[in-house]
Amino acid sequence: MVVLALVAFAVAISLQMARDRWYPRDDIEREQILYVRSGAALKRMTLSFDALAADVYWIRAIQNYGGDRLSGSKAKTKYQLLFPLLDLTTTLDPYFNIAYRFGAIFLSEAYPGGPGRPDQSVALLQKAIEVMPQKWQYYHDIGFVYYWRMRDYPTAATWFQRAGAQPNAPNWLQPLAASMLVRGNDRAAARFLWQQIAKSEEPWLRRSAERSLLQLQALDLIDQFEAVIKRFPPAAGEQYTWDDFLRRRVLIRQPVDPLGAPYVIDPATGRVTVSEQSPLFPMPGEPRRLQ
């Protein structure tokens, strides 16, 4: 019976793939298809193959996130299936560590790079804690969401304290929590946290940390360029342009971010930002510069 069920399941998938090739749906319709929304019901349907089904839904979550991120669509349906897919994945396999941790990063990513839903990110990680209450990484990740995305430093410090109280937690968590309560949103703390995540065993988490460290480097460079702009403003009535600064030899070349994309300068205010064409866009909310 099990063999027959697997064969039938495989045939159904093949038929659906063929149908999608022959009668393609438009993007919005295709993205709205979620065959089963109840994790409990899906778990009953998959019998003893819930881990395999979890892998399938995890792949769908990645495809959904990547497809929406790369699309130019501004539809309200963008990213709407991400949390339901992650919820189904982790219901089918409650110990799916990467789905919790990297899924939380997906959810908290600012729009248009992600749904900008740190609340859903926290909910997913709290679900993980219910299953694995002694895993310090989940408490740490919730603290990081409150710190990096919500800018709620007291709550972030509380979660870092809880992380530090778990078995085998690193000894830097408790001092970090205490420091955060005193100093709040400084860029040095953000850099330290991402450096810790960059040591993760998971390649995806390391890549996310590396990108965020580059974003912090980009912010440092913006500080330097804006200091120069403030010191050598354009003539009265003139706009801020890189050509003007190059012509006056204030700069020797047009500034670029750490990945080589040219910075954008606001002609009216001189404010420098990362280009929307840069791989570092969208940038996070900026921690204050330490004096």
* 3-class DSSP state of 98: helix
Output the six-digit token pair for 25. Answer: 């749906």
Q: For residue 182, what pLDDT is reported?
A: 59
**CA nearest 221: which of 169, 183, 179, 272?**
272
Helix, strand, coil % over all residues of the chain, rounded to 5: 60, 5, 35
Q: What burial class does residue 109 get, using C-beta atoms within 10 Å of its C-beta: 0-12 exposed, 13-18 middle, 19+ buried?
A: buried
Output the six-digit token pair for 158. Answer: 């509380």
**CA–CA separation, 273 and 206 (whole Å):** 25
Listed as ranges, residues in the chain with pLDDT below 70 are 1-50, 178-186, 285-291
* Structural domains of the chain ordered from first start: 36-207 (1.25.40.10), 208-273 (no CATH)
What tens digit of pLDDT does each residue of 121-155 get?
A: 999 999 999 999 999 999 999 998 998 888 888 89
Q: What burial class does residue 275 get, using C-beta atoms within 10 Å of its C-beta: 0-12 exposed, 13-18 middle, 19+ buried?
A: middle
Q: For residue 282, what pLDDT is reported?
A: 84
Q: For residue 204, what pLDDT is reported?
A: 74
**CA–CA separation, 14 and 36 (whole Å):** 19
User: Which amino acid, 57?
Assistant: Y
Q: What burial class does residue 24 get, using C-beta atoms within 10 Å of its C-beta: 0-12 exposed, 13-18 middle, 19+ buried?
A: exposed
Q: For residue 18, what pLDDT is reported?
A: 46
Instruction: Quote the pTM value.
Output: 0.60
Q: For residue 68, what pLDDT is reported?
A: 87
